[in-house]
Amino acid sequence: MRALVVVPPTPGVGLTEVPEPTQGPGEVKVRVIECGVCGTDRDVVAGKYGQPPAGSTQLILGHENFGRVESVGEGVVDWSPGDLVVATVRRGCNECRFCWTNRSDFCTTGRFKERGIGGLDGYLAEVYVEVPEYLVRVPTRLRKVAVLLEPLSVVEKAVEQGEAILDRFEPTPGYERETARAALVAGTGAVGMLAAFLLRSLGYAVTAVDRHDETTLAATLLPKIGARHVNVSAGLEPLDPDRFDLIVEATGAPALDFELIRRLSRNGVGVLTGIPAADAPAVPVAAGQIWREFVLKNQAVVGSVNANRRHFQSGLRHLGRFRRDWKEALESLVTSRQPLDDFHDPLMGKETGTIKTVLTLAR
């Protein structure tokens, strides 16, 4: 079968023939329909990280997947050929309590594996084989946007973590919240836009910031879901005097992060999802002032990575809600679908004005 393959840590990616995986008892064979491309894929292609499966020198790329069940092995129940499916990404270490209970996003040993990233082949291939535990069934009505489920799962977890901390002082019996919570989303790529969709769906007043003017696709879509777009290319002053209960960061820009957290309200929470480069330049900060504010205002910052099956399932529910309320805007998040052969620019070139590029492998 054809697959996009990298040889970590050597930079580069190639389309090549690899053996098709063998389906055994208790396993499901899935024909891949399409796979999204993200910054993690580009970093693996650039040689920044990535690990092949044990005993191999190469790794099949791709983790944002959508496919159709082709066959089921002996002993598999509740799955049938033709079912539409998205597979989760992380596989637990089988050593800690979180991985034993299918919450490998909180793995304490760090010895987990991730499809298409580290230790396990990914989904940018014509076929993969998996056990049902890691598969999530997708209703037919969501097939156009199902490839967004994996990045949405990351957002689901991030917002869940932020709200868990916010809820340390809510609710107060007998008192209603006077105004809707205010949220700031930093970055308008796929993760940032999906965060804006989710937060609006949850009733937040949402402001999304990036360094682009009002002519970009993201800037035109945000008002359609009732969110505000702000261009901060010249600095964050346009946000003043607003303060935000929840900030979801999806840029991986350390200097910006320190500026963002100073826009938190009292008791506010910042959730970081962007992953900066390990060799990013040092950032001078007014540490005393920042941490003084954090203590005196009960503020918090938390990092959030990956997701577990529960977040994929909640993502499915929210995709259905997004489709009901903002169908055109939701489908517009997939800005380009390209055949697998045209992988170079999405993975190695410079894309501008895109939100989510998808490589297609089957009809």
What pLDDT, in 10s, does the model give residues 53-102?
999 999 999 999 999 999 999 999 999 999 999 999 999 999 999 999 99
Q: Quick check: 238 and 217 in contact, CB under 8 A?
A: no
Determine, yes or no, domain membership for 327: no
Q: Give residue 285's domain range.
A: 154-303
Determine, yes or no, domain membership for 318: no
The pairing of beta strand 334-339 with beta strand 10-17: unpaired
Q: Judge whether residue 351 has pLDDT over 80.
A: no
Determine, yes or no, domain membership for 217: yes
Determine, yes or no, domain membership for 93: yes
Outline where the chain has alpha helix (H): 39-45, 97-100, 149-166, 190-201, 217-221, 254-260, 287-296, 309-332, 344-348
Main-chain dihedrals φ then ψ at residue 226, nearest 5 degrees: 85, 20
Same structural domain, 136 and 216: no
Q: What is the CATH number of the domain that holds 197?
A: 3.40.50.720
Determine, yes or no, domain membership for 97: yes
pLDDT band at 363 (very low <50, low <70, confident <90, very high): low
Query: Which residues are paired to 248 by β-bridges?
Result: 185, 271
At 171 the three-state DSSP class reads coil
Same structural domain, 21 and 77: yes
One-letter identity of residue 311: H
Q: What is the CATH number of the domain that holds 114?
A: 3.90.180.10
pLDDT band at 250 (very low <50, low <70, confident <90, very high): very high
Query: Which residues are paired to 135 by β-bridges?
Result: 87
Same structural domain, 174 and 296: yes
d(CA 267, CA 246): 9
pLDDT band at 231 (very low <50, low <70, confident <90, very high): very high
d(CA 360, CA 126): 10
Predicted TM-score of the model (pTM): 0.95
d(CA 35, CA 124): 6
d(CA 134, CA 220): 36
Residues 99-128 pLDDT 10s: 999 999 999 999 999 999 999 999 999 999
Determine, yes or no, domain membership for 317: no
Determine, yes or no, domain membership for 321: no
**Cβ neighbours, 10 Å, residue 236:** 16
Q: What is the pLDDT of residue 77?
A: 94
Place of tokens 């205010």: 182
Same structural domain, 62 and 163: no
One-letter identity of residue 58: Q
Same structural domain, 97 and 189: no
Q: What is the pLDDT of residue 176?
A: 73
Name the nearest CA neighbour of 160 among 189, 202, 124, 129. 202
Task: Return the structure tokens found at 160.
Answer: 């869940």
Determine, yes or no, domain membership for 325: no
User: In sequence order, which residues have a C-beta less than 8 Å from that of residue 267 and are 6 or more positions away?
Assistant: 166, 169, 245, 297, 298, 299
Total structural domains within the chain? 2
**Which regions of 126-197 does DSSP assign to beta strands (E)?**
127-130, 135-137, 182-186
Same structural domain, 13 and 130: yes
Q: Quick check: 238 and 232 in contact, CB under 8 A?
A: yes
Same structural domain, 349 and 298: no
Same structural domain, 184 and 269: yes
